[in-house]
Amino acid sequence: MRSFDTDGGTDHANDFGGSPSRYLTEMARSLRHYLSYQALMGLEWLPRQPTSSEERLPETLDLIRADLEDCKRCRLHSNRTHIVFGDGSPSARLVLVGEGPGHEEDLQGRPFVGAAGKLLDRIIAAVGLRRDEVYICNVLKCRPPGNRNPQPDEIDRCGPFLRSQLRAIRPQAILALGSFAAQFLLSSQQPISRLRNRVHQFDGIAVVPTYHPAYLLRNPLQKRRVWEDLQLLLSLVRGKEVATR
Ligand code: SF4
């Protein structure tokens, strides 16, 4: 007599004397051992599979951009020249997230142009990729006046679009550039100096925080620390074992 009807379960249950409860107990024990082993190897989290509702409602970058329209959801719309939505490959393995557009970005409608953009290109090359192989975007899509820090209500209004972009692309890794990007993605208040040099996660995607290129231009001695962070990133985009501290 068959013990239960689920596909494949019957044969396995028979391996345990036809007892579903013994079979499930053994499965739970094996899973516990597997997770303990992975924790010993330094794994702190497991990638989350998309839920069935996410699979039914695919979002694309074009749909997200269309939803943004001529956005006036926060005060930053009043001084902008262009919305800076994002730039790069919609199937990128790596997404770089900054804080918000600066003067040049606002004029051109593209993220990370100018001196900070050139430095970012070198960071991208250091992980063996080209700019057109990654995707670059910001937490805010409009420039804060005078390049001031983003305000919490502006991040609340604009942040959901970044979340949607990341869920549409689902890269292997995210490089969070500077405190605001890292704090937003990790729901943390810790400074970038405490968040960097570790692999975190956003929605099942690995996140490596590091210093913002504009900060590096003012503090070139910190480039050594960014190089350390890029070594972590390399292990992720090349598919090697995740390195955690
Ligand atoms: S910063 Fe974001 S939320 Fe605010 S107006 Fe621009 S696109 Fe809209």
Read off the tokens for 216: 């590096």
- pTM to 2 decimal places: 0.76
Read off the tokens for 111: 């993220």
Contact 206, 172 (CB under 8 A): yes
Nearest protein CA to atom 6 of ligand 1, as residue = 142
Query: What pLDDT sits at residue 188?
Result: 97
Q: Which atom of ligand 1 lies closest to the CA of 140?
A: 1
Mutate to test the pocket of ligand 1, among 67, 74, 75 (most ligand atoms within 8 A of CB): 74
119: helix, strand or coil:
helix
Backbone angles phi, psi at 88, to 5 degrees: 130, -160
Residues at CB less than 6 angstroms from ligand 1: 68, 71-74, 76-77, 83, 140-142, 154, 157-158
Gyration radius of the chain over CA positions = 22
| Pairing of β 205-210 and β 173-177 | parallel
Q: How many Å lie between the centroid of ligand 1 and the Cα of residue 226?
A: 29
User: For each of the chain's 245 residues, which pLDDT tens digit applies?
Assistant: 444 343 444 455 555 566 777 777 777 777 777 667 666 655 555 555 544 444 444 589 999 999 999 999 999 999 999 999 999 999 999 999 999 999 999 999 999 998 999 999 999 999 999 999 999 999 999 999 998 999 999 999 999 999 999 999 999 999 999 999 999 999 999 999 999 999 999 999 999 999 999 999 999 999 999 999 999 999 888 765 444 43
Query: What pLDDT sits at residue 235?
Result: 84
Q: How many Å lie between the centroid of ligand 1 and the Cα of residue 103?
A: 16
191 CB-near residues (< 8 Å, 6+ apart):
179
**Cα–Cα separations (whole angstroms), residue 222 to 21, 125, 162, 198:** 57, 18, 27, 16
Query: What pLDDT sits at residue 16?
Result: 59
197: helix, strand or coil:
coil
The Cα 4–Cα 13 span in angstroms is 8
